[in-house]
Amino acid sequence: MITLLFSSCQSDATYKQSDFNVEIMYNEFIHLDLNAHRVNVALIGYNQQIRISPEEHNAIENAFDNNHIGNLKGEVFMESTTMIFPPNNFQFKVIKNGKIISDITIAKDYSSGIFNGTGKDVKAFMDAALKILNRNRDFSAIRDSLIAFQKEKGLLII
């Protein structure tokens, strides 16, 4: 199921930190405020800044611009054809001038449905952001700490 509410292209949809921010929910537990470089993992009581290089930040901004993410409005939900529990979704909220303008959720294994227009753009942004975050040393350490905590406590790992 895909729910899309968006407007036509706007010239003011280019990522500028003074106007836009992206909150990334890497998974159910790991949340990143892109402009603040702040990661929150409530399950293990972690809420700190991480180092995101200017190159990494620019790469995410470029993916945002190249995939027209600033033009999306409302909710976008792209689910997998295979039901997974716990869900393995990637979610991000686009904030403009302090207000959430879109809330996008996509299954990380999304491989069907719309692969043109908005669907293609959302998947391309997700793939770029995941690649950058998974290569980031600080972010990877947090992710690995969460996985170790989940294993130690016998919790489901996502």
92, β-bridge pairs: 24, 104
CB 60 within 8 A of CB 132: yes
Write the pLDDT tens digit of every residue in 120-152. Answer: 888 899 999 999 999 999 999 999 998 898 888
Predicted TM-score (pTM) of the model is: 0.82
CB 32 within 8 A of CB 26: yes
Write the pLDDT tens digit of every residue in 22-73. Answer: 999 988 889 999 999 999 998 888 899 999 999 999 999 999 999 999 999 9
Chain mean pLDDT for the chain: 84
In this prediction, residue 128 carries a pLDDT of: 96
**How many alpha carbons lie under 13 Å from residue 20 in its C-beta half-sphere?**
22
